[in-house]
Structure 1
Amino acid sequence: MASSDIRECYGETEVEKPMLQHKSSSPEPLSSLLEDTLSDGSLPYFQRLRRATWIELNVLFRLAAPAVVVYLLNNVISMSTQIFCGHLGNLELAAASLGNNGIQMFAYGLLLGMGSAVETLCGQAYGAHKYEMLGIYLQRSTVLLMATGILLTVIYAFCKPILLLLGETESIASAAALFVYGLIPQIFAYAANFPIQKFLQAQSIVFPSAYISAATIVVHLLLSWLVIYKLGWGLVGAALVLSFSWWVIVGAQFVYILVSQRCKHTWQGFSLQAFSGLYEFLKLSVASAVMLCLETWYYQIIVLIAGLLPNAEIALDALSVCMTIVGWVYMIAVGFNAAASVRVSNELGAGHPKSAAFSVVIVTLSSFIIALIFAILALILRHVMSYAFTGGSTVADAVSELSPYLAVSILLNGVQPVLSGVAVGCGWQAFVAYVNVGCYYLIGIPLGCVLGFKFDFGAKGIWSGMIGGTVMQTIILLYVTFRTDWVKEVDKARIRLDQWEDSKESLLTE
């Protein structure tokens, strides 16, 4: 059953659904109302379509909205630290920016990507009602990410010579290193947080994380003000508070897991099974990390390449404004990315091929419509939006010229992250990693350099080439996604879960 034929996907014929067994002690299974609606041949086609759309939108936005809030709030935590440091002086601002957007972003992307392996396995296990395996997957992922954190600590420890090697001045490299040393505890907070976050999202538990992030911002702002300005701890104090705030998020979420009735079947204590099957888990985690890192680094490279242009100051300023806008809108797409992953993995695990295919259509269209609205706003406000960042009319004119490229990038970011979320839900991370390498780094970046430097199109040429890479990647993912045989994906999910599930030896139970 190919999903390209939408009528066949949720049409007249009933599709045999693999029945995945679950323990009698498990909570009530997720409603199969969507699958039943799509399979109800007694209803007219368009009535089925209308009912199914209403059901899916209700489920989707209850997932996507709080996920967007979580990513936005977590972004604000890091941004507020930069703002506090900026009031200490230009050197401190440069150091915090380098630490946050350079060294720290590398660790964030790597660990978040590795944590996405939990998204695939937990989502499918939850849909299959194999609830006890979610806690095992959470622990396995945390073990691997903590081990990766030890390796990242070495990079943090030697960040000063790395920055000097990249051409930074001695003063900036020294100040940035001081800031980065204070971020070392944050590495291990990431290593604990991302598996927990994906563990909760797989169960459609997203509102508690949003509340926790909102409360943490208040704590973070108060502590930052106290430590930086009143106690005079400067850059080190700012970084340590940032690390502490992430540990507050981790602690609060884990306490929620321990005390919440919603997690009583999915978390059954620490287990020795966390240390089994690590190699297979590592392979999926590495594929997830490569996929995500190649995506998150791609648009950052635009700014780096633009710095090599002659008289690059205005181009850099304009691109920085545009990339900041893209970044904030991207947070919305990331929320839909998480929702797509949860919906697809849950439905595949539950043996609902029609629901999985239908969810892909609805989440992609929803994200695209929202992106289209923001793209239109970017064009309407192209002459004034830069004044939120700088008062210079020269930069405003440059941003206005780049606004069509900004609008196209916003539109693409409304689709591409969602398709990546679908890939995570299906377990296609390795395939998407190869696609990203080819489209982004073998086509997009070289094409951008040729247009920008060889043909003297400057920043427009660089951005055009990289948009071309994104368009190609999006077309490939659209083709693969909407040609997918979802019945076979259900079978693959069942086989994957059977391979990963084994006897559980609990060391500590609630």
Structure 2
Amino acid sequence: MCKAMAMASSAYAPAGGVVAHAHAPIGMASAVQTVCGQAYGARKYRAMGIVCQRALVLQFATAVVIAFLYWYAGPFLLLIGQAADVAAEGQLYARGLVPQLLAFALFCPMQRFLQAQSIVNPVAYITLAVLIFHVLISWVAVFVLGFGLLGAALTLSFSWWVLVALTWGFMVWTPACKETWTGLSVLAFRGLWGYAKLAFASAVMLALEIWYVQGFVLLTGFLPDAETALDSLSICINYWNWDFQIMLGLSYAASIRVGNELGAGHPNVARLSVIVVITASVAFSILATVVVIVLRYPLSTLYTSSTTVIEAVITLTPLLAISIFLNGIQPILSGVAVGSGWQVVVAYVNVGAYYLIGLPIGCVLGYKTSLGAAGIWWGLIIGVSVQTVALIIITARTGRCLWWRRRFSDCGKPPWMMARFPSSTASSDLL
């Protein structure tokens, strides 16, 4: 098999389930972040281990279902028009990734369980060690032993299981978790449905955000000069993603801090944490925005030598700058929503802002005007802006929700609070 076919096969292999594979475990694991974060703040340490076990059971079962998409990736690839040889190699590669899929589903809850306790450095060191190990065994399997594409998939799967084993060992044996992890318990199977609703809402919330960006890339492929439009948009989105990953790290920090303080009954401290994180993220985004505008030409030449594509990237740079600035607010507020348990509400917000407002506007501006790719991106920006405003309103109302919870703590929760403010009771109901 030639290198080009191998690359194509590995790129298309998980096409039937890659979105579900990557985003479902990450999204579902944010429910661990919500419940365990608040439980840690409330000093309900034993409950954290139970919640983590619920997440492990639920996410492993979900991964088994998604594994069927990987196992039968070949027919799907044929269905979308791929060549038979690419589909066959793609299915082989996808089947080699099935163990990695299962391991990934187990790793995400354990990672969030530790993050909820502010245990971050050990996981980072373990991950770095496994990465170095993976690079070594991949080189041996593919280039020395000549196992090819299947060897690459199997070594990736093996490395992920090593990561799971090391993380599990640390979580079980470290003194830092002696109060939060008290061993396996049948209580993990009780209240599983209540946790599942929050977990699936978390997965939907994340999936709607990821699909939104991917949808605009797909729409760009139908423009008249699709190749140039796709190239320029892909380069800009790559830079946007770099900044987004940094903001995502701050988002996790905000989520953990807010969850801990809400669980401890300190809404004012949680509010201060939100202000501090947003201030830091906005300052960084302003700096990144200036860098992108000033260095727009050098940045556009790093990925291509085509004059046409470079000019297109420079044209899109102002829109990239706006998107990077929004990165300083939107991901942080999403993290605050996760820490507060607002996943269901944010999922509805994403549907309205992204798919009922942003996407239609992007289609109109991209196809019905001369803006092209810029018009499509304007739709993306408008959708994110609407979502950001909605998240600001939700965050502001969270403090009011907590005031009502304290007021009714002695006489039970009023029914209207359950309907309008699910975050105020989500964690307590699941514990």
For 1:449 and 1:225, the matched residues in 2 are separated by 44
Number of the residue aligned with 1:246: 160
TM-score in terms of structure 1 length: 0.78
**Bigger relative CO (Cα 8 Å, ≥ 6 apart):** 1
Residue 151 of structure 1 pairs with residue 65 of structure 2: yes
Number of the residue aligned with 1:304: 218
- 1:217 pairs with 131, 135, 151, which one? 131
For 1:244 and 1:161, the matched residues in 2 are separated by 26
- 2:44 pairs with 121, 130, 134, which one? 130
Give runs of aligned pairs for residues 447-486 of structure 1, distance below 5 A.
447-485=361-399
Shift in CA distance, 400/100, structure 1 to aligned 2, threshold 3 Å: farther
Shift in CA distance, 367/259, structure 1 to aligned 2, threshold 3 Å: same
Instruction: Give, as a single letter, the amino acid of the residue that structure 2 aligns with 1:132.
Output: R
- Calculate the aligned-residue CA RMSD, in Å: 1.9
For 2:365 and 2:172, the matched residues in 1 are separated by 55
Q: Is the 8 A contact 2:341 2:426 kept in 1?
A: no
Instruction: Give, as a single letter, the amino acid of the residue that structure 2 aligns with 1:322.
Output: C
Number of the residue aligned with 1:50: none
Number of the residue aligned with 1:271: 185
Number of the residue aligned with 2:106: 192
Give runs of aligned pairs for residues 421-500 of structure 1, distance below 5 A.
421-485=335-399, 487-488=402-403, 491=406, 495-500=425-430
Q: Is the 8 A contact 1:348 1:489 kept in 2?
A: no
Equivalent position SS for 1:384:
helix
Give CA-to-partner distance per residue, 1:81-118, whole Å, 9 cap, x none: xxxx9xx6222222223346773343110111111111
For 2:23 and 2:158, the matched residues in 1 are separated by 19
| Structure 1, 341-350 or 294-303: larger mean CA deviation | 294-303
Residue 325 of structure 1 pairs with residue 239 of structure 2: yes
For 1:461 and 1:95, the matched residues in 2 are separated by 33
Give CA-to-partner distance per residue, 1:429-456, whole Å, 9 cap, x none: 0000000011111111111111111113
Give runs of aligned pairs for residues 86-101 of structure 1, distance below 5 A.
89-99=3-13
Q: Is the 8 A contact 1:348 1:493 kept in 2?
A: no
The Cα shift of 1:497 comes to 4.5
For 2:149 and 2:184, the matched residues in 1 are separated by 37
Give runs of aligned pairs for residues 94-113 of structure 1, distance below 5 A.
94-99=8-13, 103-113=17-27
For 2:285 and 2:137, the matched residues in 1 are separated by 36
Q: Is the 8 A contact 2:257 2:273 kept in 1?
A: yes
Number of the residue aligned with 2:91: 177
Instruction: Give, as a single letter, the amino acid of the residue that structure 2 aligns with 1:137.
Output: V
- 1:258 pairs with 172, 189, 193, which one? 172
Number of the residue aligned with 2:410: none
Q: Is the 8 A contact 2:195 2:430 kept in 1?
A: no
Number of the residue aligned with 2:418: none
Instruction: Give, as a single letter, the amino acid of the residue that structure 1 aligns with 2:330.
Output: Q
Q: Is the 8 A contact 1:348 1:490 kept in 2?
A: no
Instruction: Give, as a single letter, the amino acid of the residue that structure 2 aligns with 1:478.
Output: I
Number of the residue aligned with 2:413: none
Residue 371 of structure 1 pairs with residue 285 of structure 2: yes
The Cα shift of 1:133 comes to 0.8
The Cα shift of 1:466 comes to 1.2
The Cα shift of 1:475 comes to 0.9
Instruction: Give, as a single letter, the amino acid of the residue that structure 2 aligns with 1:500.
Output: L
TM-score in terms of structure 2 length: 0.92
Give CA-to-partner distance per residue, 1:272-318, whole Å, 9 cap, x none: 01111111011001110100111122112222111111221111111
Equivalent position SS for 1:183:
helix
Shift in CA distance, 232/146, structure 1 to aligned 2, threshold 3 Å: same
For 2:404 and 2:111, the matched residues in 1 are separated by 25
For 2:310 and 2:427, the matched residues in 1 are separated by 53
Identity of aligned residues (%): 47
For 1:443 and 1:170, the matched residues in 2 are separated by 39
The Cα shift of 1:490 comes to 6.4
For 2:47 and 2:157, the matched residues in 1 are separated by 30
| Structure 1, 170-179 or 359-368: larger mean CA deviation | 170-179
Shift in CA distance, 431/142, structure 1 to aligned 2, threshold 3 Å: same
Q: Gapped runs of 5+ residues in structure 2?
A: 407-421
For 2:39 and 2:138, the matched residues in 1 are separated by 40
Equivalent position SS for 2:296:
coil
Shift in CA distance, 221/478, structure 1 to aligned 2, threshold 3 Å: same
Q: Is the 8 A contact 2:34 2:427 kept in 1?
A: no
Give CA-to-partner distance per residue, 1:323-361, whole Å, 9 cap, x none: 111122211111011111100100000110110111111
Instruction: Give, as a single letter, the amino acid of the residue that structure 2 aligns with 1:349.
Output: G
Instruction: Give, as a single letter, the amino acid of the residue that structure 1 aligns with 2:98.
Output: I
Shift in CA distance, 416/489, structure 1 to aligned 2, threshold 3 Å: farther
Q: Is the 8 A contact 2:333 2:391 kept in 1?
A: yes
For 1:440 and 1:196, the matched residues in 2 are separated by 31
The Cα shift of 1:489 comes to 7.7
For 1:368 and 1:331, the matched residues in 2 are separated by 14
Residue 119 of structure 1 pairs with residue 33 of structure 2: yes
For 2:343 and 2:404, the matched residues in 1 are separated by 14
Shift in CA distance, 193/351, structure 1 to aligned 2, threshold 3 Å: same
Instruction: Give, as a single letter, the amino acid of the residue that structure 2 aligns with 1:363.
Output: V
For 1:103 and 1:463, the matched residues in 2 are separated by 26
For 1:121 and 1:244, the matched residues in 2 are separated by 30
